[in-house]
Amino acid sequence: MADLSGILNVNKPTGVTSFWAVKQVKRILGVKKVGHCGTLDPLAEGVLVILLGRSTKLQNILMGGNKVYRAVLKLGLETDTGDVTGKTLREFPVPRLETAAVREILDSFLGETEQVPPMFSALKYGGRRLYELAREGKEVKREPRKIIIHSIELLGIEGGRLEFRVECSRGTYVRTLGEDIGKKLGCGAAVETLCRERSGDYTLATALDGRQLQGISREDLLTHCKLEIENIKPQN
């Protein structure tokens, strides 16, 4: 079925790249053209929308939908990547944090704002990925981008860690948001865990466990693909 087209919602596991998931789907289904709607770092897990064949033309439409992430920040730490996998740059004592004050800080990020993409990202500069340049110790100027934080909810504070859930627009980097939260708290922060719970209309509840991609048959994988694409519309 060389002309197979469709959409596959995968729960990408931690420890692998988004490219790994795409490569597995491509190998299993024998489809030449496969893409995805938004890179997840190896640290992150969650919804990865994979497009097959002619459905790759829908990438811009599907990527335009809002995203929902759940993140845990390790407080008192700043790294070069914005998460705990990076090189430690600074460490700080973590002050006593009052719930009401933390909620007020989180609420300060609501609405439209500008965010500078991190060097450790998949954006391209001069034909190369920014993370490739960052690994060589290089830093280039990045233009700020408009983003919208639709909602942000404090889920808990315990043991020097802060957990929150955020609904945001396309192009929002949660690692950068976490760093900015840490700065306002006065103690720095780095993402420890990150899960994309929703991308547009695609949720974890309907996602295929990405760990199954190592052993699933072509027939079984096809049962998880949405093959009807005519009614796809811009998502919120």
Residues acting as catalytic residues: 41
What token pair was written down for 64?
């335009």
Give the sign of the dihedral formed by CA 90, CA 92, CA 94, CA 99. negative
Give the sign of the dihedral formed by CA 131, CA 172, CA 190, CA 182. positive
**DSSP of 37-71:** SS---TT-EEEEEEEEGGGGGGHHHHHTS-EEEEE
CA atoms within 13 A on the CB side of 18: 19
Residues facing 145 on adjacent strands: 115
